[in-house]
Amino acid sequence: MIRVPRIAVLIYLLGYDLIDYSDREIWQQFRASYKGKMDVHTRLMKRYEDIPGWWFHLTLVLSFLLSLVLCIVMKDQVQMPWWALIFASGLALIFTLPVSVITATTNQVLIFTLLINTHFFAG
């Protein structure tokens, strides 16, 4: 098995993201969405009533508290320290919005996010 340092993989994949996905289509879609031009999916979603925001906030808080309790009480089964849950939740809060915007407007998944999910957290 060939062992490659994680920083080398990170630099390679980050460079791949910047080179491969920086074409005109990404910028055109971003500019169009920034100017308020609705795409097909946005027009279709306008037909439905919005869900109240407090539902999402309540779900977030309850799931985080349940996860925290499980990390503390069932630490032998969960095998994740409480501080790692807070760190992972912080990473998710930081990266979710920018990655979602890029994915939604360009229909491209960044290799960098796949690297974070698989290489660093899978062991």
Query: pLDDT digit string (tens) for 65-90?
Result: 999 999 999 988 988 899 999 998 99
What predicted TM-score, i.e. pTM, was given to this entire model? 0.53
- Where residue 24 falls among pLDDT bands split at 50, 70, 90? low
pLDDT confidence of residue 9: 65
pLDDT confidence of residue 72: 93
pLDDT confidence of residue 56: 94
- 1, exposed or middle or buried, with CB in 10 Å at 0-12, 13-18, 19+? exposed
- Where residue 118 falls among pLDDT bands split at 50, 70, 90? low
